[in-house]
Structure 1
Amino acid sequence: MLKSLEWFDVIVVVAVLLFLIVASMYSSFKKKDAEEYFMASRSLRWWSVAGSIFGTNIHAQQIIGMMGVGYSIGFAQSHYEIWAIPAILVLCYIFIPIYRKRNFFTLSQFLESRFNANARLVYTVLMVAFILIQLIGGFYIGSRTLGLLFEGTGWEVSYVAGICIIATVTVVFTVFGGMESVVTADNVLTIIMIASILLMGSFTYMQPEIGGLSGLLKLDHAEANKMHLYLPSNHPKLPWSGIFTGLTILNMFYWTTNQYQVQRVLAAKTDRDAKLGSIAAGFLKLIIPFFSIAVGSAAYYIFKSRYGVDSIKPDDTFLTLLKTVVPTGYGLVGLILAGLMCAIFSAIYSMMNSVSTMMAYDIFKKYINPKASDKKTVRFGQLAVFLICIVAGVLAFSTYDPNSSDNFFLKLANQTSYIKPGLVVVFFWGVLWKQTNPIAAVLVLAGSPFIGLGCDWIFENLLIQYPFIIQTFGETFNFLYRVFSIFVIGSILLVIWSKYLNANGKAKIAEFDLGISLSGIGSTLCWFLLTQIPFIVVALLGLISPQTAATPAAIVCLLLFVWFHKRAKDKMTLFKSDIFYAGLLTSSMIWIMFYFA
């Protein structure tokens, strides 16, 4: 890829990467205590929170994987971005007030204060395991991408060499810079990635086979029908019923109980910065459906016309499209490649920063040296980065095939689906039900992966015999259904065990002031459903088309949030209030979900 670049494109690539390194490493020269190193002194303003969340969330796996799924399956992949908005609102109005009130460094500290030290330890183990799986995937897709970028040049990068390069850069950024360097890098990356995605999408839509987004919709309606959000409930990859069950739980995990994402709002200067930053990140995420996933669907028609059907592997869609539609010699290819190369590292060193924080506070200061100085605590966190990178690199080499043609994004989501639901069960019941027993919480946390394996066995050996099951859920147990099954079974077990243990005086329930109004949350949800259900019903009955219902449904949603603002007696004016922007974000989600039904 780089061999075919014009000299100006090469200059742009080098200049952008050097700027990123200098901007990120500037803070590494300052001497830091533990709070500065792990939490950036809790000084992040809303725009830094937004940029860091987006930079952490939209990494190489997302850019390459999302476009690949858009190419092979279609626009339904957009649910991963659009349906994240309810989880962002839950983070803003339920969890941010709880987490930030106590100045936690890690979410495991929340579990200890709510339950006990065992819950804290189990969460730490599960989160490190989850991040390790993500890191292995990041090393795989990053190394594979570097190999394609340098293919045909005098500096060809093998799969092993690519892993070593990524691990080395990760260690340098994370160990020497701390969270401030990570956040700076995330913000620079966000600007570069947005510019890259917009450029790539614009050039794709300009192709004669496509003719803009409207042209893509007309072409798609006549041919493959990829530009729809809802696929059959027995679809093997993205069933609509799995979206509103399992994906809801996955999004709740990612936005409310995931250490490396939530750490950004913990480091915000004020609650308002934390909320506005999260909402702004939600707006940025809405770029992805139209300039990455839909572009992948457009690539299907371009490749079909020029190269033949199924001529390109899904995970190679991005680079093939880049070579096909973006002109060289103007620095545009260089900018897009720089954005992709930066994205390879973005989420990786964000995850490593969170791993170092958890290892330092949840392992070292909790069990090894409770009286450790800030200097020793930071050093242990840095050592953890080295060790985790080594383990992830070895496993990436031994467990992934760099020549695979699978949808990497969906494969990674499937691998981590055994861990996430149990965390959501414990966090949500811990917040919503004061009688949640500590022992029951620990049992569900530790047992959720085994519940998932049990669900797999039941489906594959018992339920698969019934034709109704196959017609409804498909021949394989989709991971989204597994996630929801774990959540439901885990919730039932948690309630039963809590009632039994509480009745027998097992483990005292800690006094815990949630600081939120559950009745207010329930009332808000009811009002939202009451205003949207009529539009859903008339669309399902065929009285009006979903496209016709999209705009009035979105307007009603926005007006509802304006009413929420007045009822809340917010001292901020409407256009300065986070509630207004939360409404604008939610109404955007509503419009998309109706229009692309």
Structure 2
Amino acid sequence: MLSGLDFFIFFFSMAAVMLIGLLAGKGKETSSEDYFLAGRSIPWWGVAGSIFGTNISANHLVGMMGIGFSVGFAQTHFEIGAVIALLLLGYVFLPIFLELKIFTLSGYLEKRFGDTAGLIYALLSFVLILVQMTAAYYIGSRTLNTLLSSDLGYIGGILLLIGISCTYTIFGGLKAVVWTDVFQSSVLLIAGILVAILTFNHPEVGGWTGFMARDAAQAVPKMNLYLASDHPQLPWTGVFTGLFIMHIFYWGNNQYLVQRALAAKSLTHARYGMFAGGLLKLLVPFFSIAGGIAAAQLFSAIGKPDIAPDDAFPELVKLVVPFGYGIIGIIAAGLLGAIISSIDSMMNSAATIATIDIYKKYIDPEVSEKKMVWIGRVCIITIVIISATLAVLTYDPTGKTNFFLVVSSQSSYFTPGIVAAFLLGIFNKSITHRGAVIAILICPIFSYLFEYLYDTNLGQLSIFSELFGEKINFMHRAFVAFIVSFTSAFLASGKDKNNSQYTWHNMVANPESLNLAFKKLWGIIIGLCVLALGAYFNLLPRWVLGGIATIGIFYAFASHIKQYPREGLTFIGDDRFYAGLLAGLSVLILFLF
């Protein structure tokens, strides 16, 4: 039950979001670059807030707590693994994308491999965004109804989300999306940390020390990053293979995430923003995933162990947050911000793809700038209607599955082939148009066939079931699909015309620097493997091994700054300083848990 103060804070936040969005884009979006890329004028902190807000949606705030609640801390790999992908985006993909001044990532595939590859990517991206938006409407409406104890109903909750997000996104374009994301990310962080503090300080949890002691006393502790290779949901072999491929797609080849970096003032601003957003992401495992584990302890202690994972967050809020202080209003506002900051980003990116890659390219090449903005607005309305309808028809608002993993599994049928096409396009001069198209198209076909074959035949053989389980995990399947797509691209590439001038060898400003960075990367990987063996055999305490790894990684970045200094930047002002800090802290977490 919400107090009057809670409702005031909640509705004030809603009004603030709409006002910020309307003011940010008021009367300025007259060209396609203004509307879809905010005039390429976003500073680093805008990039950071928008990337964090777009990524940490209700899918994360609610879905990740649900997985922590039911599975455990291994879900943290979805956050930690993103760091390597962010580094790839910042130092490999993004310099090329910005140099080409593209609006969409299909623009790169068109230049490198031709129109067909670009069109296939555009269509697949549109479908994947549709899937993500549908999921966002589902979890957003479900959670708001539970948290607010309102009579909105499932459909009413969806309509509320549509009303708020469409108000400014349709008229203000990406600039409105970015500035509202910054505001909503701030509220989201406050809300998430508040819930975590109240949860861990509950007497039945006993603070962080009591929480860790209770977890260690369990038959199967949940504060463990590494689950068996045959674990049905988060096998350790999957998180270091297939999940890594999915991270590369999500952070490096995914239109609605990368579009924020494309809108930055400069490459330096984009990198600062991406790495700042990455540092914020390192908080998520502790206030969301570990918070979910604490919630499981708490609900078990009070005799309510049967709560559905996707209801863990709102039920926890109702249990631990005191009434009458406006705290529930802040949390509800943070949740609303988490939902809307993802939905508005996907709206804008879907409209960008539909307008730039499809309408202008194939329907009206001579379309005016003004009409392109109008087409973008129509596309937003269209995709909202489709995704909201799908949310009503395809999701059960009373379901008990971990929807976050369901959504990840759905997208993994398609994304490995896209990653193969981008990586080979950038790093290999011999891959042709035919190879890239085959790599993208064969992926979903193989993924579905391989899953069926494994689940009905291979999984029944002990040699496979003992290692990977009787049913193939989507991460394992994604990695095998990536290998098949990667290999198929080589086999299918003949002697067709090859636009190899768009590889990184020809487009990166300082290829020697990047070559040396990759050599250092191999050294880091070998060193980490040695330290991991030390942790496995308990040769030294994990915190010691993690400290060695962290210092070693940061030293590698620091030495690179000295070897290749950038004019006008101090050591601490160099983006590589923050990249090293981000990478080092991520690896430390991998060793500590």
**If the TM-score is normalised by the length of the shorter chain, which range does it land in?**
over 0.9
Match of 1:306 in 2: 302
Higher alpha-carbon deviation: 300-309 or 245-254:
300-309
Match of 1:321 in 2: 316
Determine the structure 1 residue equivalent to 2:501.
Answer: 511
Give, in whole Å, the separation in 2 of the partners of 1:297 and 1:308. Answer: 14
Amino acid at match of 1:14: F
SS at match of 1:511: helix
Residues 243-301 of structure 1 show CA distances to partners (whole Å, capped at 9, x for unaligned) of 00011001000010000000001000011001111000100001100000000000000
Answer yes or no: is 1:31 the counterpart of 2:21: no
> Of residues 119, 141, 144 in structure 1, which corresponds to 2:142?
144
Separation of aligned partners in 2, 1:7 and 1:110? 52
Q: Find the counterpart in structure 2 of residue 75 from structure 1.
A: 73
In structure 1, C-alpha distance between the alignment counterparts of 2:534 and 2:157, rounded to whole Å: 53
Question: Counterpart in 1 of 2:124?
Answer: 126
Give 1:240's aligned amino acid: W
CA distance in 1, matches of 2:416, 2:439: 10
1:441-479 CA distance string (max 9 Å, x none): 112212211110121122123312310211100111110
The one-letter amino acid paired with 1:300 is A
Q: How does 1:429-440 map to 2 (within 5 A)?
A: 429-440=424-435
Which residue number in structure 1 is paired with residue 591 of structure 2?
594
Q: Distance in 2 between matches of 1:158 and 1:15?
A: 22
Q: Aligned partners of 2:207, 2:343: CA distance in 1, in Å?
A: 34
**Could you report, residue by residue, the CA deviation over 1:525-565 in whole angstroms, capped at 9, with x for unpaired residues?**
12322443332232223212323312222122212221121
Structure 1 residue 96 corresponds to structure 2 residue 112: no
- For 1:533 and 1:412, the matched residues in 2 are separated by 31
The aligned residue for residue 352 of structure 1 is 347
Correspondence list, 1:429-468, <5 A:
429-468=424-463
AA of the residue aligned to 1:415: Q
- Paired with 1:488 and 1:141, the residues of 2 have a C-alpha distance of 33
Listed as ranges, the gaps of 5+ residues in structure 1 are: none
2:286 aligned counterpart, secondary structure: helix
Partner residue in 2 for 1:18: 15
The equivalent of 2:419 in structure 1 is 424
TM-score (norm 1): 0.95
Percentage identity across aligned positions?
39
Aligned-partner residue type, residue 128 of structure 2: F
Kindly provide the CA deviation profile for residues 126-160 of structure 1, in whole angstroms up to 9, marking residues without a partner as x: 00010011111111111212322343x4xx11222
2:531 paired with 1:541? no
Provide the residue aligned with 2:327 in structure 1.
Answer: 332
Match of 2:250 in 1: 254
> What secondary structure sits across from 2:572 in the alignment?
helix
Which amino acid in the other structure matches residue 236 of structure 1?
P
Tell me the CA shift for residue 163 of structure 1: 2.3
**1:591 Cα deviation after fit:** 0.8
For structure 2, list consecutive stretches of 5 or more residues without a partner in the other structure. Answer: none
What corresponds to 1:370 in structure 2? 365
Is 1:48 equivalent to 2:46 in the alignment? yes
- C-alpha distance in 1 between matches for 2:455 and 2:307: 32
> Any conservation in 1 of the 2:13–2:333 contact (CA below 8 Å)?
yes
Q: Which moved more, 1:42-51 or 1:391-400?
A: 391-400
1:182 to 158, 163, 177: 177
Tell me if the contact between 1:435 and 1:509 (Cα under 8 Å) persists in the aligned partners.
no
Partner of 1:296: 292
**Contact in 2 for aligned 1:150/1:157 (Cα 8 Å):** no
RMSD over aligned Cα atoms: 1.4
Query: 2:59 corresponds to which residue?
Result: 61
Counterpart contact for 1:115–1:510, Cα < 8 Å: no
**Once the 2 structures are TM-superposed, how far is the Cα of residue 496 of structure 1 from its aligned partner?**
1.1
**TM-score between the two structures when normalised by the length of structure 2:** 0.96
User: Aligned partners of 1:5 and 1:458: how far apart in 2?
Assistant: 51
The residue type equivalent to 2:246 in the other structure is L
- Quick one: which amino acid aligns to residue 147 of structure 1? N
More moved, 414-423 vs 257-266: 414-423
Give the total of aligned pairs: 584
Q: Do the aligned partners of 1:436 and 1:509 also contact (CA within 8 Å) in 2?
A: no
In structure 2, distance between residues paired with 1:569 and 1:136: 46
Q: What residue is the counterpart of 2:261 in the other structure?
A: 265
Amino acid at match of 2:27: K
Counterpart among 383, 389, 404 of residue 388 in structure 1: 383
1:425/1:491 contact within 8 Å kept: yes
Q: How far does residue 570 in structure 1 lie from its aligned partner after superposition?
A: 3.0
What's the offset of the Cα at 1:512?
2.2
Deviation at 1:510, TM superposition (A): 4.8
Aligned partner of 1:160 in structure 2 is: 155
Aligned equivalent of 1:474: 469
1:578 is aligned to 2:568:
no
1:574 counterpart SS class:
coil
Shift of 1:92: 0.8
Deviation at 1:419, TM superposition (A): 1.2
Q: Which has the higher mean CA deviation after the structures are superposed, 243-252 or 27-36? A: 27-36
1:531–1:557: 8 Å Cα contact kept in structure 2?
Answer: no
For 1:5-52, what per-residue CA distance to the aligned partner results, in whole angstroms no more than 9, with x for missing partners?
222222211222221211111123223221111111101111000000
Match of 1:244 in 2: 240
Q: Contact 2:53–2:342 (CA<8 Å) still a contact in 1?
A: yes
